[in-house]
A and B are shown apart, each in its own frame.
Chain A
Amino acid sequence: MWEDIKDFASTFFVTGDPLIYGADVSIVLTMLAIVFVLTKYKKWGWLWREWLTTVDHKRIGIMYLIASLLMLFRGGVDALLMRLQLAFPNLEFLHADHYNAIFTTHGTIMILFMAMPMMFGLFNMVVPLQIGARDVAYPFLNALSFWLFFLGAMLFNLSFVIGGSPDAGWLSYPPLSQNDFSPGPGQNFWIWGIQISGIGSLATGINFIVTILKMRAPGMTLSKMPLFSWSVLSSSIMIIFAFPILTITIALLFLDRFAGAHFFTMDGGGNPMMYLNLIWMWGHPEVYIVVVPAFGIFSEVVATFSRKRIFGYKSMVWALMAIAIASFFTWAHHFFTMGTSASVIAFFAISTMVIAIPTGVKVFNWLFTMFRGRISFKQPMLWTIAFIPCFLVGGATGVMLAVAPADYQYHNSYFLIAHFHQVLIGGVVFGYLAGIYYWWPKLFGFKLDEKLGRWGFWFWNIGFYICFMPQYALGFMGMTRRYYTYGWDRGWEDLNLVSTVGAFMMGIGFIFQVWQITYSIKHGERDTTGDPWDARTLEWSIPSPAPFYNFAVVPNVKDSDDWWATKQAKANGTYKEEPVHLEPIHMPKNSGIPIIMSTFWFLIGFGFTFGWVWMAVVGFIGVAVCMWVRSFQYDTDYYVPVDEVRRTEASLGRVL
């Protein structure tokens, strides 16, 4: 009996590595600390009522933000570990299997559990406020999306201490990811972590499409809608078409592993290339899904900090939509080297390059928004300006990759690694950081400290170029990605060391940002006006932080930069004060079902990961019961009485 337990434990828990024991201990300690604090201050009820069951888009946005920052840390630590291992030739810091697990989790976490939730966080924090709505179209579904993401991410991260991490690359190509070559639960964690959070992402896509199409304030026609909201629409369109493909692809991979199917196996008529084909049909749109909202953020920030209307609004909208559609016709550029026909390769090479055209238009429009403007270098603007050169060069190397015959030389080399970090960090991370700095005061009511922020900014930026520019050169030297080590004979050592130094500079930048946040909570400049940047769109017309119902009175929009126009009119004295008429506000009720149902999904994932079918069955029954119960709930919303609205507004310093 005891032996059995020991046996079980030694395969169940990941053992044998001091790093992991360290992680185990710190996880247990953190959990205990959280439980202790919550119990001591009697905060369990508060946590449940105010956060875990909330359907308020602003709170959900904040939860996404916190989770994604934690994931940025985890993914970043992975990155630093990899860079440490590669700093010198023949280093024995990480063994091959450990290194392989780390780049796999790094890539997966950064894209699916860092970039995606940070993006959803920004969607949630901004879109309803920007279009003058009181919430998203489906607040309950929104909460469900968040919890599905969160529990999916937790399931994935659990692999670090239980069962073992996946180690077949962030897109887990078969046959390597099949049972024959990747036995054990690691790969299943990958499948189920992504599957569960993927369902949430799909729901978020639907939610925001309907929100944007149907919940805009009166007068805000689509042609007056701010560009960030447009970019969210574009991104959501890609989500709803791309994510079902992902769902199926990894479901099929799971069937191969679990039910002995032969979709992507080497034998039995399976076809591993079909997996490559399918996963990139999702994977390529995916990278645009995450970058397009960053484009939206830049559009808002550039206009605000140049104190000028965005240039070429129509072109910007067309470009966003063109990117969304075109992104579905380029997927094969990720396997030019698969040996398929020349016409396929030629077609996808051209379709890939075509994306440079609308992207370029956006860059030019940003530049000409600054042109004849007045640029002030606040934090959001700093990141935006830094983005431009970084993304230009990264985009240009993307176009070079699209030259298919040349790609035979770049493919899977560090040239590729450099390309995508340049667009992912220079585009996505810089963009989201710009967005977070920009909208932070709206969410929390205070600004983030400028001085610490600048330190963070410069470390990130300089670190970035030091880290990734040498990698282009390494690619030309033949250095292949996913090498856990290399010898002295190739001449790769100098540039690798430089690259590692740069990576650690980015790490220092991140530390400055964490410091900045903790510092600013106490000492940050408070935002009493609700409009700290003298900005242009609706979200700045209400107090910071926004009351739970967002708008006491739904605004009537007349201009594409409506708040700016209002301020202008007030300054010119042409503003016509309209009598305020308050009405009871219709709001959704909180619900515990999203978190409970997602927990059952977690059970399904965990059960299948270890092949414990009974647990998965319990999970499925739980999910079904949750849906049943929800279907029978009719009392799902309520009205906020006028009195309460008036009181709340008064407490925020607004007289109505």
Chain B
Amino acid sequence: MTQHQNHGGHQDHGSLKSYVIGFVLSIVLTIIPLVLVMNQMLEKTALVITILVMAILQFVVQLFFFMHIREGEKPRYNVQTLILGLVIVFTIIAGSIWIMMFNKY
């Protein structure tokens, strides 16, 4: 029965270890861009890209170590929704910037 079938026992959601690793990683990933920016260590475009990548990495860290995206029931409707949602967020932001630039071509 569909509403029951995916329901085998309770996973324990994460361990202390995974939380600590996640916490340390996220602190590191916050400090790196901070240092880079405060000291203007890179050329502007490279800097922007680097700190955005750091932010995305940190998002991934939170997803895996704090939000336990890997666990949970199957099928993974939550992961599917999230991915679709992120695609749309990306479309909104990139699309707006692209459209609102008003270049000729």
Contacts and interface: CB of A to CB of B under 8 A. Distances in A.
Touching in the complex, A and B, CB below 8 A? yes
Interface stretch (B27-35, B45-53, B94-102): B94-102
Contacts of B98: 344
Contact of A214 (B2, B84, B96, B105): B2
Nearest to A344: B99
A221 to B, nearest CB: 7
B102 A216 contact: no
A593 interface: no
A272 to B, nearest CB: 11
Interface stretch (B11-19, B36-44, B61-69, B85-93): B85-93
A281 B92 contact: yes
A339 interface: yes
A542 interface: no
Interface in A210-260: 213-221, 237, 240-241, 245
B91 A215 contact: no
B104 interface: yes
Interface in A322-339: 325, 328-329, 331-332, 339
A217 B2 contact: yes
B92 A342 contact: no
B101 A214 contact: no
A66 interface: no
Given A241-B85, A329-B91, A342-B105, A271 B2 contact: no
Given A221-B2, A241-B85, A343 B105 contact: yes
A348 to B, nearest CB: 9
Given A214-B3, A221-B2, A241-B84, A342 B96 contact: no
A215 B103 CA distance: 50
A240 B82 CA distance: 12
Interface string A342-363: 1110000000000000000000
A241 B88 contact: yes
Contacts of A325: 84
Interface residues of A, number: 31
Contacts of A332: 95, 99
A328 B102 contact: no
A248 B103 CA distance: 26
A274 interface: yes
A342 B104 contact: yes
A273 interface: yes
B103 A273 contact: no
Given A214-B2, A220-B2, A241-B85, A328 B91 contact: yes
A341 B2 contact: no
Interface residues of B, number: 21
A341 B88 contact: no
A278 B101 contact: no
Given A241-B84, A329-B91, A277 B3 contact: no
B7 to A, nearest CB: 11
B96 A341 contact: no
B96 A274 contact: yes
A277 B99 CA distance: 8
A215 B101 CA distance: 46
Contacts of A214: 2-3
Nearest to A242: B88
A340 B85 contact: no
Contact of B3 (A215, A221, A281, A328): A215
Contacts of A237: 84
B100 A271 contact: yes
Contact of B101 (A216, A240, A331, A341): A341
Contacts of A245: 92
Given A216-B2, A218-B2, A241-B88, A277 B105 contact: no
Nearest to A214: B3
Contacts of A331: 95
A349 B3 CA distance: 42
B2 A277 contact: no
B2 A274 contact: no
Nearest to A237: B84
Contacts of B101: 340-341
The 6 closest A-B pairs by CB, nearest first: A218-B1, A341-B103, A216-B2, A342-B105, A241-B88, A340-B102
25 contacts: A213-B77, A214-B3, A217-B1, A217-B2, A218-B1, A218-B4, A240-B81, A241-B84, A245-B92, A273-B100, A274-B96, A277-B96, A277-B99, A277-B100, A325-B84, A328-B88, A331-B95, A339-B102, A340-B99, A340-B102, A340-B103, A341-B102, A342-B105, A344-B98, A344-B99
Given A214-B2, A215-B2, A341-B104, 15 more contacts: A214-B3, A215-B3, A218-B1, A218-B4, A219-B1, A274-B96, A274-B100, A281-B95, A328-B88, A339-B102, A340-B103, A342-B104, A343-B105, A344-B98, A554-B1
